Amino acid sequence: MTEPYSDADKQALYRAIYERRDMRHFCGGKVDESVLARLLSAAHAAPSVGLMQPWRFIRITDNNLRDQVYALVQTERRATAAAMGERESEFLSLKVEGIRDCAELLVVTLKDKREAHIFGRRTMPHMDIASTACAIQNLWLAARAEGLGMGWVSLFEPDDLKTLLKLPADSEPLAILCLGPVESFYDRPMLEQEAWAERAPLEHFVMENQWQPNEP
Amino acid sequence: MTEPYSDADKQALYRAIYERRDMRHFCGGKVDESVLARLLSAAHAAPSVGLMQPWRFIRITDNNLRDQVYALVQTERRATAAAMGERESEFLSLKVEGIRDCAELLVVTLKDKREAHIFGRRTMPHMDIASTACAIQNLWLAARAEGLGMGWVSLFEPDDLKTLLKLPADSEPLAILCLGPVESFYDRPMLEQEAWAERAPLEHFVMENQWQPNEP
């Protein structure tokens, strides 16, 4: 049995959990190679269904390619705005990505040949998405502790990103991650600060033994 | 700008990331209500696409209901085993859940009325699954730091679990979480210890600018 975590250790973990933010504002700079290695290693320590380790990381170091990723996100940003109806202009006023400003750009994609993995996925094939999200959350918390911001951008057409990065047909991109130094971290989620959405209190999210509609 | 994290703080976070295990062996006992509240609060601090907070937690306190959840997982365990082909008996020899032995049983499900959320989901509707997995990973890490084991069971037929817990038709259960005291944490992932699967080194998972098949 390993040593219990000290109160200070627990506090450090909870601090990262509560101070982690989905960042869209970056200030260039760079991410030290050794720090990036620690972050990717933390991601790789995530749980995965049947130990399939479905995550793959593509580091975008080519600036021309970064521009193409940016363009692809802009296309979806406009399409999303058009689908927003009365909130279109409000949506367009939000900064929804930091692709050109972040130090490092990573694309996270699901591996190919996933149909071979049945364990925990026969009725729940999307568990590979869940496992990969756990890996990204590890990376996110580690980045926060290292003083780096991260933002998960999902405003893209997956098929277009697949084509751009020459992904296999049976792979599936899940995230464009913007990573790097920031001026400061948001005090609250940016979408809350900008009054896009409110956070609801935890008690509305916990039920006992069966579904109980308890939202406000 | 908040204070940088000390080396000890970073170490505490990395320790939780590396020592977290997907547990299937529990030793009964109980989870203190204040600890459970901290864990759920940590989950609730997760990022979510468009701040939609899609997660809902159902705490199973009724022992008869716990037995029914167990039976439902056993049914899928047998169906998965039958689909395993030559690894059927090997799969059946694994302990794949701790539902009857864990102190607390939680079901995590996606909220209803999700189609209203377009932000980051127009082309990526499964981002609600990803957000909920981030919440579960927060809970998992916090549980590890609190000295509690957790296991994510996905061996179930979602429609049967929906019926059992009276979930709305447009909800979607994602996890049965076993949580509680354990005799000891696995040194390595249980499926690695049992030689079900091997973990591959990180370098096979990182590519540059485009897909590069680099698995062994």
| B-contacting residues in A 13-42 (Cβ below 8 Å) | 13-20, 22, 38, 40-42
Concatenating the DSSP letter of every residue in A168-200 gives -TT-EEEEEEEEE--S---SS-HHHHTTS--PP
What is the pLDDT, as a whole number, of residue A213? 77
What is the pLDDT, as a whole number, of residue B13? 98
Residues in A closer than 8 angstroms to B176, CB to CB, are: none
pLDDT, tens digit, 9 for 90 and up, residues B110-140: 999 999 999 999 999 999 999 999 999 999 9
Q: What percent of chain A has pLDDT over 90?
A: 97
Q: For the ranges A65-79, A122-136, A202-216, B18-32, which has the lowest average pLDDT?
A: A202-216
What is the pLDDT, as a whole number, of residue B1? 55
Low-confidence spans in chain B with pLDDT less than 70:
1, 214-216
Q: Which DSSP letter does residue B50 get?
A: G
**What's the average model confidence in pLDDT over A188-214?**
93
**Domain limits, chain A:** 22-197
- CB crowding A8-45: b at 16 or more within 10 Å, else e: ebbebbbbbbebbbbbbbbeeeebeeebbebbbbbbbb
> Measured between CA atoms, how close is A133 to chain B, in angstroms?
5
**What's the average model confidence in pLDDT over A185-206?**
95
pLDDT, tens digit, 9 for 90 and up, residues A85-115: 999 999 999 999 999 999 999 999 999 999 9
What is the pLDDT, as a whole number, of residue A2? 79
**What's the average model confidence in pLDDT over A57-61?**
98
Any idea which fold A22-197 has? NADH Oxidase (3.40.109)
| B-contacting residues in A 132-161 (Cβ below 8 Å) | 132-134, 136-138, 140-142, 144-147, 152-158
Q: Among all chains, which residue has been given the structure tokens 């080396």?
A: B7
Which of B7, B11, B14 is the best residue to mutate to test the A interface, defined by the most A CB atoms within 10 Å of its own CB? B14
The whole-chain average pLDDT of chain A stands at 96
ipTM over 0.95: yes
**Alpha helical stretches, state H, chain B:** 7-19, 33-44, 63-83, 88-92, 127-145, 158-164, 190-193
CA nearest to A45, candidates B7, B19, B150: B19
